[in-house]
Amino acid sequence: MNEIGRLELIRESLIAVVNEMRANVIRSSYSSIIYEGHDFSCALTTADGRLLAQGDADNPIHIFAVPYSTIELVKRFAGDIHDGDIFLQNDPYTGGTHLNDVLMLYPVFHEGRLALFAATRCHWGDVGGMTPGSLSGRVTDIYQEGMRIEPTRICERGRMNEPFLQLLFNNMRIPEERRGDFNTMLGASRKAAQHIARLFKRFGGNAFLDAIEELISRSEAVMRERISQLPDGTYRAETYLDSNGHSPDPLAVRLKLTVAGDRLIADFTGSSPQTSGPTNVGPAMALNAVASLAKSYLDPQTPVNHGSFNPIEVINPPGSFLNATLPAPCGGMVECRAVMIAAMVSALGQAVPEKLIGDLKGGANHVYISGPRTSRAGGSPGLFLLYEYPAGGTGATKEGDGNHVVRAFPEGDFNVVQAAEIAEMQCPVRIEHYGLREDSAGDGEHRGGCGMRRDVRVLEDGASLSVLADHAVIPPFGVAGGRSGAANRFVVIRDGEVIQPSSVPGKVGGFKLRAGDIVRMESSGGGGYGDPVRRNPDDVARDIALGYLGQERAREVYGVVLTPSGTVDAAVTDGERKRVAALRHQVALARAAKDDLDAARRWIGLSKAQAVRLGVEPGDLIELVNPHGAAALRGWVRISDDPGPNDALALDLGPMGHAVLGTQPGHTVEFRKLGPALQ
Residue type, 156: E
**Worst-scoring range by mean pLDDT, 104-113, 407-416, 539-548, 590-599?**
407-416
Residue 67: partners with Cβ closer than 8 Å, 6 or more residues away? 45, 49, 50, 51, 95, 306, 309
| pLDDT tens figures, 240-275 | 999 999 999 999 999 999 999 999 999 999 999 999
Peptide bond into 532 cis (omega under 30): no
**295 and 371 part of one domain:** yes
Separation between Cα atoms, residue 406 and residue 392, nearest integer Å: 6
**510 and 547 part of one domain:** no
**452 and 598 part of one domain:** no
Domain that residue 492 falls in: 230-522
Residue 677 has pLDDT above 50, yes or no: no
Residue 678 has pLDDT above 50, yes or no: no
- pLDDT, averaged across the chain: 94
405 SS3 class: coil
Separation between Cα atoms, residue 21 and residue 63, nearest integer Å: 14
| pLDDT of the residue at 1 | 63
**303 and 359 part of one domain:** yes
Question: Nearest 5°: phi and psi at 549?
Answer: -140, 135
**199 and 262 part of one domain:** no
What percentage of the chain carries pLDDT values higher than 70?
Answer: 97
**130 and 100 part of one domain:** yes
Residue 135 has pLDDT above 60, yes or no: yes
- What integer is the mean pLDDT of 432-439? 97
Looking at 165, 196, 222, the residue that finishes a domain is: 222
DSSP, res 554 = I
**279 and 332 part of one domain:** yes
| pLDDT of the residue at 378 | 46
**620 and 562 part of one domain:** no
Domain presence at residue 527: no
Confidence label for 415 from pLDDT (cuts 50, 70 and 90): confident
Separation between Cα atoms, residue 192 and residue 86, nearest integer Å: 13
**154 and 236 part of one domain:** no
Which residues on adjacent β-strands are paired with residue 315?
A: 267
| pLDDT of the residue at 650 | 87
Nearest to residue 351, comparing CAs of 228, 482, 529, 268? 228
**493 and 609 part of one domain:** no
Separation between Cα atoms, residue 329 and residue 282, nearest integer Å: 9
Written as one string, the DSSP assignment of 177-189 is HHHHHHHHHHHHH
**450 and 564 part of one domain:** no
| pLDDT tens figures, 619-630 | 999 999 999 999
Assess contact for 296 and 348: CB atoms under 8 A. Answer: no
- What integer is the mean pLDDT of 161-187? 96
Domain presence at residue 341: yes
- What integer is the mean pLDDT of 416-438? 94
SS3 content of the chain, % helix, strand, coil (to 5): 30, 25, 45
Residue 1: partners with Cβ closer than 8 Å, 6 or more residues away? 9
Query: Other CB atoms closer than 10 Å to residue 545's CB: what's the count?
Result: 11
**Helix orientation angle between 3-28 and 175-203, rounded to the nearest 10 degrees:** 160
Where does residue 80 rank: exposed (0-12), middle (13-18), buried (19+ CB within 10 A)? exposed
CATH code assigned at 630: 2.40.40.20
| pLDDT tens figures, 75-114 | 999 999 999 999 999 999 999 999 999 999 999 999 999 9
Where does residue 606 rank: exposed (0-12), middle (13-18), buried (19+ CB within 10 A)? buried
| pLDDT of the residue at 104 | 98
| pLDDT tens figures, 559-603 | 999 999 999 999 999 999 999 999 999 999 999 999 999 878 999
Domain presence at residue 184: yes
Residue 376 has pLDDT above 50, yes or no: no
Separation between Cα atoms, residue 647 and residue 586, nearest integer Å: 12
Domain presence at residue 166: yes
Domain presence at residue 656: yes
Domain presence at residue 179: yes
Comparison of pLDDT for 362 and 645, the residue scoring more = 362
**573 and 592 part of one domain:** no
Looking at 222, 253, 277, the residue that finishes a domain is: 222
Nearest to residue 333, comparing CAs of 343, 323, 344? 323
| pLDDT tens figures, 194-224 | 999 999 999 998 899 999 999 999 999 999 9
Looking at 582, 599, 616, the residue that finishes a domain is: 582
State the total domains in the chain.
4
